[in-house]
Structure 1
């Protein structure tokens, strides 16, 4: 049985990726309060109460036993600010990735750093394929996906392009008889 890749804190050069919890709700709602973040995804910025309900739901995990939800908030170690989140819906054959960084912290490479850290973790835990669904006009997310090694496919889902890559197999320990 593969280890659960969704329940552990992760760390990158500048960020701590912490499993999402209800106590992150108020700070996460403030970090993601810019309506511009919803240009490609729709919706509106969550109120603290809406974000708390979302955090509770995400922390509880998927109701589908065939998938696991991994949701990590991004804590910038330099100043302790919560800057956004990354997430992975992990199924037996693939992990679907998403990333969001508040506008205050954009253009610093934080989304790329966090997504790269998540992808390395998923690869090490045996995930074989990574996908992301990106709006065709969302050039910043497309650049992140390209940096991660994902490539656009001809497939569309709700108006978004499916990006995909096959991940390398993690090294296995050799067994001596």
Structure 2
């Protein structure tokens, strides 16, 4: 009788000055549905706000991990330490030394530097703990706020395009040999 593979282990949490990045769990779906409820969040990415049931289903799939054994799906929700509210998420698809990263901050929490702080924290975590040497993001060319976050995280625009979005990347040098 075939066995179902065990869910992928979640990534460890990490923290920034004001945010706790907590490994994604389906239990966060209801609160995150409220965080992601503003249709303005989808102007550049398409789609529409997910309801709690759809979001829980998505989180269950994400927590199960990639069907590709060589790929890790790492997802965190962002909790604002000051008031305990969830404010958004960061994620990384890690394949070897390369990670594709993304971030979303709910509309009520925008303009406070949380996205830049979270993206910088994610990049630092992936390089120091995840062994990542190349960071990649895809950003709509008209999304100036996301471009500013990418710059804050150390990424720069590339000449590559995917699905109408510009590639942004950073290569992290390997540490010197002892």
**TM-score, structure 2 as length reference:** 0.91
Contact conserved, 1:156 with 1:162, CA < 8 A, in 2? yes
Deviation of 1:170 after TM superposition, in Å, equals 5.0
CA distance in 2, matches of 1:78, 1:5: 28
Whether 2:33 is the aligned partner of 1:29: answer yes
Contact conserved, 1:123 with 1:168, CA < 8 A, in 2? no
* Residues 54-93 of structure 1 mapped to structure 2, 5 A cutoff: 54-93=58-97
Q: Provide the residue aligned with 1:7 in structure 2.
A: 11
Query: How far does the alpha carbon of each residue in 1:144-163 deviate from its partner, in whole angstroms, 9 at most, with x for none?
Result: 11111111111100000000
Q: Provide the residue aligned with 1:131 in structure 2.
A: 136
Whether 2:158 is the aligned partner of 1:153: answer yes
* Unmatched segments (≥5 aa) in structure 2: 1-7
Deviation of 1:168 after TM superposition, in Å, equals 3.2
Whether 2:134 is the aligned partner of 1:114: answer no
Moved over 2 A (4+): 168-172
**3-state SS of the aligned residue for 2:40?**
helix
Query: How far does the alpha carbon of each residue in 1:88-110 deviate from its partner, in whole angstroms, 9 at most, with x for none?
Result: 00011410000000000000010
Which residue of 39, 45, 53 maps to 1:41?
A: 45
**3-state SS of the aligned residue for 1:75?**
strand
Tell me how large the CA RMSD over aligned residues is.
1.7
Count of aligned pairs: 170
Deviation of 1:171 after TM superposition, in Å, equals 7.1
Which residue of 151, 163, 169 maps to 2:168?
A: 163
Contact conserved, 1:25 with 1:52, CA < 8 A, in 2? yes
* Unmatched segments (≥5 aa) in structure 1: none
**TM-score, structure 1 as length reference:** 0.92
Q: For the structure 1 residues 166 and 16, does the alpha-carbon distance in structure 2 shift closer, same or farther, using more than 3 Å as the test? A: same
